[in-house]
Amino acid sequence: MKHVIVIGGGIAGMQCAAELARGGIRVTVLEKQSDTGGKLRNWHKLFPSLTPAGEVLGGLNHTLRRLPNIDVRTECEAAELSPRRVVLATGEELECDAVVVATGFTLFDARIKEEYGYGIYDNVITSADLEEMFNTGKVSTTSGAAPRRIAFLHCVGSRDEKVCQRHCSKVCCVTGVKQAMEMKELFPAADVFNFYMDIRMFGPGYEEMYREAQQRCNIHFVRGRISEVSPTIDGRLQIKAEDTLTGRPLKIGVDMLVLLIGMRANDMNAVLEQRCGLERQTSGFMRPRDQFLHNTESNVAGIFYAGAVTAPKSVGESLNEGTAAARGVIEYLAAKECTDNSTIDE
């Protein structure tokens, strides 16, 4: 029985492992956290349908446990890999016939954008923090009060050369719209302002959701990036930006500021490049062999990619790539067996 190692037990890795197991392949999933699910474990609801993240994750976990020949190894990190061998951080070596890298992304550390005051002032939180608040059911300012005015800032750690993140993280726009609507639902009396550079609604139903946020929920969209945040004497936050559509500077006091943090490439990607011969893009994300016909293959035969390891992706896209990568692996193994057999025949 062929053996494939999937590195990363996030949604792309889980989907890929399930597809491989269905194809009669023995799979080992390496997950560095204590459980599978990756970033989705901390998310509350998914855009645009507001499907609970737990529903998607529950489905994936159920499939993974039900299928035979899947071995999930948690708290287990890969240090080096080649198409036939993966070396763990502990030094243990695992033999295999192919490897799928589904290591995902790292959330941008908002503290780097010091001017927004994350980790310095109270009530400056990230989109990920807000999802955790939704999960615990305790959404409030630090003092426990209901916020009367909430601001969202798009593109934190995205499209920003000053923090070496030139790329667009793709999903923050729609996440910002989704979270703004959720906040309006929780606090109907609050004013919600979204500060954006561009609103990129790339998926089905997203644009409709944006319009609903504007028209039905009365969420104010101000085109302009916040330049700085400062605390006020009454414990609120003052925001400065340009309202670029009127061409005038704007300031506003808010009770809560949510930073829509982007996706950045894992530090591990540099190791993959240096030690494993894999290619990286300038964004730091791994480079697929081809953008169109081979986007789940790496430049090394036998090493595949699935999910956000190659670029920021939505949940649906990552799941699709899990399936696509598995198909690629199955074809690769079949073709390899053919050539191996023909070599023996000779």
- The nearest distance, CB 220 to other proteins, in angstroms, is 7
- The nearest distance, CB 211 to other proteins, in angstroms, is 5
Q: Is 150 in the site for other proteins (CB under 8 A)?
A: no
Task: Kindly compute the dihedral angle of the four CA atoms of residues 138, 140, 145, 146, in this order, to the nearest 10 degrees.
Answer: -110
Only one of the segments 65-73, 98-106, 181-189, 219-227 lies at the binding site for other proteins (rule: CB under 8 A); that segment is 219-227
Buried b (16+ CB within 10 A) or exposed e, 13-36: bbbbbbbbbebebbbbbbbbbeeb
Other CB atoms closer than 10 Å to residue 40's CB: what's the count? 19
- The nearest distance, CB 248 to other proteins, in angstroms, is 5
Alpha-carbon Rg for the chain, nearest whole angstrom, is: 22
How many whole angstroms separate alpha carbon 346 and alpha carbon 146?
A: 77
Q: Which of 253, 270, 275, 331 binds other proteins (CB under 8 A)?
A: 253
How many whole angstroms separate alpha carbon 218 and alpha carbon 286?
A: 40
Q: Which residue(s) pair with 220 in the sheet? A: 193
Q: Is 216 in the site for other proteins (CB under 8 A)?
A: yes
Q: Within positions 161 to 200, which residues make up the interface with other proteins, using CB under 8 A? A: 199
Q: Which of 214, 295, 299, 320 binds other proteins (CB under 8 A)?
A: 214
Q: Is 218 in the site for other proteins (CB under 8 A)?
A: yes
Residue type, 30: L
Between 108 and 210, name the residue whose CB sits nearer to other proteins: 210
Q: Which of 51, 74, 230, 246 binds other proteins (CB under 8 A)?
A: 246
Number of helices (H), then strands (E), in the chain: 7, 20
How many whole angstroms separate alpha carbon 137 and alpha carbon 142?
A: 14
Provide φ and ψ at 100, rounded to 5°.
-115, 120
# residues near other proteins by CB under 8 A: 19
Q: Which of 243, 281, 299, 327 binds other proteins (CB under 8 A)?
A: 243
Tokens representing 315 are 């949940």
Residue written as tokens 């959701």? 209
Question: What sign for the dihedral angle of Cα 108, 112, 115, 116?
Answer: positive
Q: Which of 34, 143, 247, 341 binds other proteins (CB under 8 A)?
A: 247
Only one of the segments 24-32, 123-131, 207-215, 323-331 lies at the binding site for other proteins (rule: CB under 8 A); that segment is 207-215
Between 119 and 249, name the residue whose CB sits nearer to other proteins: 249
**Angle (CA) 231 233 239, round 5°:** 35
Between 115 and 279, name the residue whose CB sits nearer to other proteins: 115
Only one of the segments 72-80, 115-123, 217-225, 335-343 lies at the binding site for other proteins (rule: CB under 8 A); that segment is 217-225
Q: Is 252 in the site for other proteins (CB under 8 A)?
A: yes
- The nearest distance, CB 251 to other proteins, in angstroms, is 6
Q: Give residues in contact with other proteins (CB under 8 A).
A: 199, 211, 214-216, 218-220, 223, 243, 245-253
